[in-house]
């Protein structure tokens, strides 16, 4: 009799442990679902022009442009020699009907449904008197391949006035974008969509 009672108690405890484990798994699943919901893509960036004046007369030279793909957006990063977190690099980023430069012939249109124009600069190294970034006017950005990107479809480099640089980015459509600075880098993110999911 005592042995039967002991066996029954063990079975009851095992059942309680299993139920507890199932409850924990369900809670973990609910937590995971909640986390994925909170990690939904941001949509509040808007598509209006973003403009920041440089904090000093001296603007550090552009040295490189690179791109990367992310879950919620495509990213373009501009590297500047001598840029720091203390000073604003200065930029003007906006959607345009087409890329134009005063006194320059019309440039071929970019692939995609909209054109984002990024004005930065300069492409000039004052220590050597030569270009600091090896790009050619009217040509795609050197070393940048946006094949297979969700948002970026094309790129174009343009020599602008006063040694400044314009970069045209062909995007799938007029989508939200943000511009941030991290030290000597200017970062332009263009969302994959207007919706709150990737």
Q: Which of 115, 117, 112 is CA-nearest to residue 172?
A: 112
- Three-class HEC string of the chain: CHHHHHHHHHHHHHHHHHHHHHHHHHHHHHHHHHHHHHCCCCCCCCCCCEEECCCCCCCCCEEEEEEEECCCEEEEEEEECCCCCCCCCCEEEEEECCCCCCCCCCCCCCCCCEEEEEEECCCCECCCCECCCCCCCCCCCCCCCCCCCCCEEEEEEEECHHHCEEEEEEECCCCCEEEEEECCEEEEEEECCCCCCC
Whether the Cβ atoms of residue 119 and residue 126 lie closer than 8 Å to each other? no
What does the domain layout of the chain look like in residue ranges? 1-39, 50-191
The 8 Å CB, 24+ separation contacts for 20-26 are none
Instruction: Classify residue 37 as exposed, middle or buried by CB count within 10 Å of its CB (0-12, 13-18, 19+).
Output: exposed
For 50-191, the fitting CATH number among 2.30.33.40, 2.60.40.3500, 2.102.10.10, 1.10.150.120 is 2.60.40.3500
What is this structure's pTM?
0.77
d(CA 57, CA 147): 37
d(CA 173, CA 81): 32
Identify the bridge partners of residue 159 per DSSP, sorted by sequence position.
165
Q: What is the mean pLDDT of the chain?
A: 79
Question: What confidence tens digit (pLDDT) does each residue in 9-22 have?
Answer: 433 434 444 444 44
pLDDT at site 6: 43
Six-digit token string for 130: 């030569």
pLDDT at site 71: 93
Question: What confidence tens digit (pLDDT) does each residue in 9-62 have?
Answer: 433 434 444 444 444 444 344 333 333 334 578 878 999 999 998 877 777 889
Label residue 103 left, alpha or beta by phi (over 0 means left) and psi (-120 to 50 means alpha).
left
Does the N-terminal peptide bond of residue 122 adopt cis geometry, omega within 30 degrees of 0? yes
Question: What confidence tens digit (pLDDT) does each residue in 150-177 have?
Answer: 999 999 999 876 668 899 999 999 999 9
Question: What confidence tens digit (pLDDT) does each residue in 75-91 have?
Answer: 999 999 876 656 788 89
């Amino acid at each position: 009799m005592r042995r039967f009672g002991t066996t029954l108690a063990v079975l009851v405890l095992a059942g309680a442990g299993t139920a507890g484990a199932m409850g924990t798994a369900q809670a973990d699943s609910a937590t995971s679902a909640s986390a994925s919901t909170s990690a939904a893509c941001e949509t509040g960036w808007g598509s209006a022009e973003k403009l920041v004046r440089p904090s000093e007369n001296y603007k550090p030279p552009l040295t490189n442009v690179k791109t990367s793909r992310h879950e919620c957006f495509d990213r373009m990063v501009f590297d500047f020699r001598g840029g720091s977190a203390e000073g604003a690099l200065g930029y003007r980023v906006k959607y345009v009907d087409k890329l134009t430069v005063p006194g320059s012939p019309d440039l071929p249109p970019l692939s995609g449904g909209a054109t984002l124009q990024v004005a930065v600069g300069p492409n000039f190294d004052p220590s050597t008197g030569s270009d600091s970034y090896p790009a050619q006017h009217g040509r795609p950005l050197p070393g940048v391949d946006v094949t297979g990107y969700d948002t970026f479809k094309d790129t174009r480099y343009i020599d602008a006035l006063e040694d400044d640089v314009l970069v045209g980015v062909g995007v799938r459509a007029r989508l939200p974008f943000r511009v941030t600075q991290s030290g000597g880098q200017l970062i332009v993110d263009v969302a994959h969509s207007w919706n709150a999911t990737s």
